[in-house]
Amino acid sequence: MSVYLDHAATTPLRESALEAWTRAQRDLAATPGNPAALHFGGRRARRMLDDAREQVALALGADIHEVIFTSGATESDALGVMAAARGMRGRDGGRSLIVVSGLEHDAVAHQREVASRECFDWEVLPVDAGGVSVLPAVSGDEAPAAWDGRLALGSMTLVSSEIGTIQPVANFAALVHASGGLAHSDAAQAIPTLDVSFLELGLDLMSVGGHKVGAPAGTGVLLARRGIPMVTDRPGGGHERSIRSGTPDVAGACALAAALTEVVSESAAFATRAADLRAHLLSRLPDGVSATVGESASSSAIIHLSLPTARPEAVLMAFDMAGIAVSAGSACHAGVTRPSDIVMAMGRSEEQALGVLRVSLGHETTCDDIDAFLAALPMAIHAGAALDGITHVRNERNEER
């Protein structure tokens, strides 16, 4: 038996999405057509795409004309951050500052390299010990002095994909607007457990990834308020408001719309059930293991744990051998383990930033899954501690030499 507790990375395809995708593909096979074509096949494909766009808008509290289909949250983030920043600089040449939270997914954080090449300034907001972004202190509706007249765009994730903390996006958007800039948020991790409304958050742009909500990988949405200036690096045939060119994936859009509709309708009930599962897990942790952040300010579906080991690769391997899928907060690439930048931004040491584990829940997660994780946890910690000991001995020998 296998246990899947890595839903923040990707969650299984929902039956509703599979059915919508299959139905759309069959319709397109029977009556083929490009949505841009004027003949009967094209008009049918366009109706299917428009229906999907309307469902997505309804699910996310947006207008149908604000929905831009993309290949996923990564592309949506790249478009949302850089296309809007370029547009703002083109409208007002003095706006060359981009401000982001210190908790952003790489899809946003790595836009810093693009921004630097294009001569934008880049500012990262600090993170407090509880994993929440610290906003500039201002009085009333004033704009932060350092941003006023310079800010092109601000981006803040709604829920941290790594530690699960909920961020003050609405307050951040208000500060960004007071400074004359545009506000973007990556909401990919928020939708399963929070009531997410594009309009009520006061955003100009918002990114969503399909495979985080049970739609096929390779599907996503960028919500972009009409009238905002955007200069895209994806020119072409003028698709999706000329912001994201390329023949649309009609079946993928239908699947995404179905999954989003279902997830949003279940979010309140799932948030409650996930909170119960989370409480069950946290109440049975062994000595030396604790939650990295408090429950009140985080998504109930993401549980970030601090472990008494600095060898996450050994911990993950032990869980994998036990048939349990979880992830480390630190990134392991080609055998090189890096401490979590986000945990270090919270003021933790490098060793503490290595000893972390993320458990993320989905709508199919059961109490038995949590019990299986808890049963395997001591063995996984022991595996990490054993490797810690070997490394310590090697370091001592090297020092003696």
Question: pLDDT tens digits, residue range 122-135?
Answer: 999 999 999 999 99
Contact 181, 98 (CB under 8 A): no
Point out the domain boundary residue: 239, 262, 285: 262
Residues 274, 252: one domain? no
Residues 275, 241: one domain? no
* Calpha distance 101→232 (Å, rounded): 23
* The token pair that represents 331 in the structure block: 């990134």
Point out the domain boundary residue: 231, 262, 293: 262
Q: Is 332 a catalytic residue?
A: yes
* Residue 399 dihedral angles phi and psi, to the nearest 5°: -65, -35
Question: pLDDT tens digits, residue range 164-182?
Answer: 999 999 999 999 999 999 9
Give the other-Cβ count within 10 Å of 145's Cβ: 11
| pLDDT of 108 higher than 70 | yes
What is the average pLDDT score of the chain? 92
Residues 239, 279: one domain? no
CATH of residue 294's domain is 3.90.1150.10
Residues 197, 161: one domain? yes
Question: pLDDT tens digits, residue range 141-167?
Answer: 788 988 989 999 999 999 999 999 999
Residues 25, 149: one domain? yes
| pLDDT of 92 higher than 60 | yes
Structural domain boundaries enclosing 242: 15-262
Average pLDDT over residues 345-360: 91
Residues 64, 155: one domain? yes
Specify the pLDDT at position 334: 37
Point out the domain boundary residue: 215, 244, 262: 262
Contacts from 270-276 at CB under 8 Å and sequence distance 24+?
Answer: 270/192, 270/193, 270/301, 270/363, 271/192, 271/193, 271/194, 271/300, 271/301, 272/300, 274/193, 274/299, 274/300, 274/301, 274/361, 274/365, 275/300
CATH of residue 211's domain is 3.40.640.10
Residues 102, 122: one domain? yes
Residues 237, 279: one domain? no
pLDDT category at 332 given cuts 50, 70, 90 is very low
Catalytic member of 119, 254, 332, 367? 332
Q: How many residues are given for the chain?
A: 401
pTM: 0.93
Residues 207, 324: one domain? no
Residues 198, 233: one domain? yes
Question: pLDDT tens digits, residue range 356-377?
Answer: 999 999 999 999 999 999 999 9
Residues 116, 41: one domain? yes
Residues 258, 271: one domain? no
For residue 275, CA distances in Å to 132, 191, 192, 296, 331 come to 20, 15, 12, 10, 27
Q: How many domains does the chain have?
A: 2
| pLDDT of 9 higher than 50 | yes
- Closest CA relative to residue 330, chosen from 351, 350, 356: 356
| pLDDT of 233 higher than 90 | no
